[in-house]
Amino acid sequence: MSQFDVVVIGAGPGGYIAAIRSAQLGFKTACIDAGVNKAGDAPALGGTCLNVGCIPSKALLQSSEHFHAAQHDFAEHGITVGDVKFDAAKMIERKDAIVTKLTGGIKFLFQKNKVESLFGKGSFKGKNGDLYQIEVDNNGEKSVVEAKHVIVATGSVPRPLPQVEIDNVNVLDNEGALNLTAVPAKLGVIGSGVIGLEMGSVWKRVGAEVTILEAAPTFLAAADQQIAKEAFKVFTKEQGLEIELGVKIGDIVKGDNNVTVNYETAKGEAKTEIFDKLIVSIGRVPNTNGLNVEAVGLEKDERGFIKVDGECRTNLPNVWAIGDVVRGPMLAHKASDEGVAVAERIAGQKPHLDFNTIPFVIYTDPEIAWVGKTEEQLKAEGVEYKKGTSGFAANGRALGLGKAKGTVKVLACAKTDRVLGVHMIGPMVSELVAEGVMSMEFSASSEDIARIVHAHPTLSEVLHEASLAVDKRALHG
């Protein structure tokens, strides 16, 4: 029976990073994962993020944006194109190639860092003294390894909708939405979160008529509402996404070639829509099925998350849990940083991870990104604040890109001027938000950002201008 210092269960962005960092710190490390490639004939590391989440969705978003630009934006640049055609299968093929390259990259990193990769489903079997026994089930072929430390990084799975079963033929989850090889004429999406908006945007740009049904009465409730309202206006009035809020989903009936959705609007009106395809994206739940936590007494909370403290320690000595399977935002970068932190804590180091400075991004066009508190949160908490806003409409770089829509907002403490939140909608704000993150990590004031020289012409000047506006010193607005 093989023994390890550290065994990681799950090779998603939390697990594989935890394994690599553990090995770098001198621990004999193994990582257990049951992921397979799209064809189902070979292991594929990287979890949901690399295989059917973050990475493939960004590939499709970029492809669809190119197609849309060729149809609608090139003429403004003096570029005339002929009959622009779209090949959905080719777009999926490109996406798959990117996924294959990156998942293969993790395999290389495991080899480079001497992480032993074990294929199969990992579950707790029991204990042998101070060592935990982990069973690895490779399609019925079972083996057991022992570990002094165990890091659970099993991620999350799509939240099921009681009214209908996902078949990834006509009723799709995130994986099915990423693998359509033809454009549906009429696409329904249940849920207007990150997955719903991104996938709805992809298929809308390439020709689908898209309707998004959201149970919540507020659009993007987690985002700053000034930014959310601007986004809603762009998505609906300018881009043509049909988004209905406050709906109650009723019966859903699968036909041979369509899906019928019955629902009630926020005003109480009964409606029926027939879609060619339906994407169900109503959130995700922790993935602990088959982990056999009962064998060792590992505790979960009432929602199914593994209980951890602020440092990712569970109720069991030397058992840790990270990423989507524990509290906090379900974000790949949060999982990765937790993985690093846990490996370093095992080594006796004192790493720090601040949930208040974890950035959130939605990769629509325009992009939406934020870090820190929203205006609504600050008001609810009774925090006195001041704010500055600036738009991309007069930004030279944004105008040159043909993407001059959007706003940047900076929120700062009214007494100390310390930055409390940065909220953005606009071009490449997924990159711009990093400046806000770093500012908050170093306890910067809005004046600090305002007094830093920003290159001209760049999109970052809008953040600079918003910081100036906090103290009513805006120069271009």
Stated as kind and residue range, the H or E segment containing 190 is strand 186-190
Find out whether 1 is annotated in a ligand binding site: no
Find out whether 445 is annotated in a ligand binding site: no
Find out whether 331 is annotated in a ligand binding site: yes
Instruction: Give yes or no: 456 in active site.
Output: yes
DSSP β-bridge partners for residue 409: 389, 423
Cβ count within 10 A of residue 288 = 21
Find out whether 240 is annotated in a ligand binding site: no
Find out whether 196 is annotated in a ligand binding site: yes
Find out whether 188 is annotated in a ligand binding site: no
Stated as kind and residue range, the H or E segment containing 387 is strand 385-391
281 to each of 157, 189, 391, 439, how far by Cα in Å? 11, 7, 31, 33
Catalytic annotation, pick one of 77, 456, 464, 476: 456
**DSSP assignment letter at 455:** P
Q: Which residue has the tokens 């074990």?
A: 118
Find out whether 155 is annotated in a ligand binding site: yes
Pairing of strands 141-152, 131-138: antiparallel
Find out whether 154 is annotated in a ligand binding site: yes
Measured torsion, CA atoms of residues 425, 428, 429, 432, in degrees rounded to the nearest 10: -150
Find out whether 122 is annotated in a ligand binding site: yes
Find out whether 417 is annotated in a ligand binding site: no
Find out whether 193 is annotated in a ligand binding site: yes
Find out whether 192 is annotated in a ligand binding site: yes
Find out whether 195 is annotated in a ligand binding site: yes
Instruction: Give the whole-angstrom CA distance, residue 168 versus residue 9.
Output: 27
Instruction: Give the whole-angstrom CA distance, residue 276 versus residue 320.
Output: 44
Cα distance between the two ends of the chain: 69
DSSP β-bridge partners for residue 189: 212, 279
Map residue 143 onto helix, strand or coil. Answer: strand
Find out whether 254 is annotated in a ligand binding site: no
Which residues are annotated as catalytic? 456
Binding residues for FAD, by number, are 58, 122, 154-156, 324, 330-333
Binding-site sequence positions for NAD(+): 191-198, 214, 283
Annotated binding site: 58, 122, 154-156, 191-198, 214, 283, 324, 330-333
